[in-house]
Structure 1
Amino acid sequence: MTQLMSALGFWNTSATRHTAVEDVQGIFSGSLVASLGLYVLASAGLLTGSTAGVAFLLHYAFGVNFGLAFFLLNLPFFYLSWKQLGMAFTVKTFIAIGITSLLTNIQADVFKIASVHPAWAALLGGLLLGYGVLALYRHRASLGGVGILGVYVQERFGIRAGLVQLGIDLCVLAAAFFVTTPPVVFYSVLGAVVLNLFVAVNHRADRYIAL
């Protein structure tokens, strides 16, 4: 039975390399959990950082479709990904972004959140996003944008990806003062801190190398 599962790719006897099946479940699961995190934040009217944060800003300010904006904003980062992180990382990231964009757009049709306190939304949404991003990182993928930059900086200079993302996310959220209220920005910053500290603590090159 073990040999059959191994041959099908469901059972990996290597300690360092993921099978294709493991990558598929990891990328889908990570994208699903991340889309749930984005939906929780959106249900409380909160934002996040990176390209998702910019997509939220465009959605709140101009009514632009979030999923479409999120997908399009990530396209320029694929050049860096392709040149510095390789074809496999780029393709898996492209797939993860597509899945996350699609699932985020349909969340409200299949899962209703009637009411959620913004503090709880920041904590829960930040953690869900953190788990999703961590799953993608460990299968050598990301949600694009700053995630691509964070992985590159960590691999090139040893600076944790979560800390890189946190710095950029805070800059994105600072722009939110132009489209929303200070309490919303405060809780959005809280969610970004939860997300990026979770990633910084749990994703370290000296502890886990994704292949």
Structure 2
Amino acid sequence: MNRKERVLDLFFEIAGLFIMSIGIHSFIVPANIAPGGVSGIAIMIQYLWGAPIGFMTLLMNIPIFLLSWKRLGKKYTLQSLGAVLLSSVILDYVVTPWFPVYTGERLLGTLYGGILAGAGLGLVFSRGFSTGGTDAICFLLQLKFPQIPIGKMLMLVDGLVLASSVLVFHNIEAGLFGVVALFCQTKVIDSIVYGSEHGQMFFIVSEKNMAIKDRILGEVDRGATLLKAVGAYTMEEKEVLLCAASKSQFAQIKRIVKEIDPDAFFIVTEVSQILGEGFKSVMDDTL
């Protein structure tokens, strides 16, 4: 990766975490909602005992990172740890002391909090980074229960946090507004990073397909297929690399192709469903 790409990565990461922190501090916290994830648990802890949200988010991620180091790999863990450290500093020492909080209509606070948090996370995810937390928990759980789709695990974990928020805030609307904020956050993330598709299909024509294939297998942990093809103009035999991936892996695969062969012919198509090994099982599909 060249220096320009690294600077862009850092810019998007800082900007995204800054926007997310404003959404949490200025809108979500005053609305007394906890829209899922480790940050939602940290918000409830702050409500009960006044502990800083950023610090508690970092503290709760430590055991998750220890497990992910062994199970998910050093690169994923270090990237996530860096994002969480940066997020904690921005939230506790930059946004919280200087930015005002919104104390008006609760529904507006919920909507804007979800939108800003989603926009911030969307910028972070668009560069292929992760913030650990719920994602890491679900990846670790899937190693133990591979038959359960990752989407269902995310819903289960976030659902438990939302249910707990009703008890902590002593208000059933905390859970209802939390669902609204989580919905807005998810939709904004999808619109920034992925669009509305459920997955992507990649067709890559390159003289360096073997190197691209090795990087995808090693770094993204996705399979790939080499297809024999013939160029219609030159009538020369070529190989087309076919790869299906989940929406969260789009930026990472795109970067791999760009780094190895900037001149590659790269086609990305949207697919409504991907079934089979590594995705939702055909047996689980309700057609």
Match of 1:144 in 2: 132
Report the residue type matching 1:134 in the other structure.
G
Distance 1:167 1:122, change over 3 A: farther
Match of 1:165 in 2: 154
Which is worse superposed, 82-91 or 32-41?
A: 82-91
How many angstroms apart in 2 are the aligned matches of 1:150 and 1:193? 19
Structure 2, gaps ≥5 residues long: 200-244, 256-287
Match of 1:51 in 2: 38
Distance 1:76 1:142, change over 3 A: same
TM (norm. structure 2) is 0.59
Cα deviation 1:146-180 (Å, max 9, x = unaligned)? 12245676xx889566x643432121110112221
Greater RCO, CA 8 A, separation 6+: 1
**1:74-85 paired onto structure 2 within 5 Å:** 74-85=61-72
Match of 1:109 in 2: 97
Match of 2:51 in 1: 64
Query: Is 1:209–2:246 an aligned residue pair?
Result: no
More helix by share: 1
How many angstroms apart in 1 are the aligned matches of 2:98 and 2:67? 35
How many angstroms apart in 2 are the aligned matches of 1:69 and 1:124? 23
What displacement does 1:44 show? 2.2
Match of 1:135 in 2: 123
What displacement does 1:48 show? 2.2
Residue 35 of structure 1, aligned match among 15, 21, 24 = 21
Distance 1:80 1:138, change over 3 A: farther
Match of 1:185 in 2: 175
Report the residue type matching 2:158 in the other structure.
D
How many angstroms apart in 2 are the aligned matches of 1:141 and 1:112? 29
Match of 2:230 in 1: none
Contact 1:130 1:198 in 2 (8 A): yes
Which is worse superposed, 172-181 or 196-205?
A: 196-205
What displacement does 1:80 show? 4.1
Contact 1:43 1:116 in 2 (8 A): no
Contact 2:36 2:158 in 1 (8 A): yes
TM (norm. structure 1) is 0.77
Distance 1:126 1:164, change over 3 A: farther
What displacement does 1:108 show? 3.2
How many angstroms apart in 2 are the aligned matches of 1:96 and 1:133? 11
Cα deviation 1:59-100 (Å, max 9, x = unaligned)? 112222222211100111113432344323222211211121
Contact 1:130 1:199 in 2 (8 A): yes
How many angstroms apart in 2 are the aligned matches of 1:135 and 1:167? 25
Report the residue type matching 1:57 in the other structure.
M
Which is worse superposed, 98-107 or 201-210?
A: 201-210
How many angstroms apart in 2 are the aligned matches of 1:164 and 1:133? 19
Report the residue type matching 2:51 in the other structure.
V
Match of 1:121 in 2: 109
Distance 1:147 1:131, change over 3 A: farther
Match of 2:165 in 1: 176
Larger radius of gyration: 2
Which is worse superposed, 144-153 or 50-59?
A: 144-153
Report the residue type matching 2:37 in the other structure.
S
More strand by share: 2
Contact 1:165 1:196 in 2 (8 A): no
Aligned pair count reads 194
Distance 1:136 1:87, change over 3 A: farther
Which is worse superposed, 120-129 or 194-203?
A: 194-203
Query: Is 1:20–2:1 an aligned residue pair?
Result: no
How many angstroms apart in 1 are the aligned matches of 2:31 and 2:180? 13
Structure 1, gaps ≥5 residues long: 1-5, 11-18
* Aligned residues with identical type, % of pairs: 22
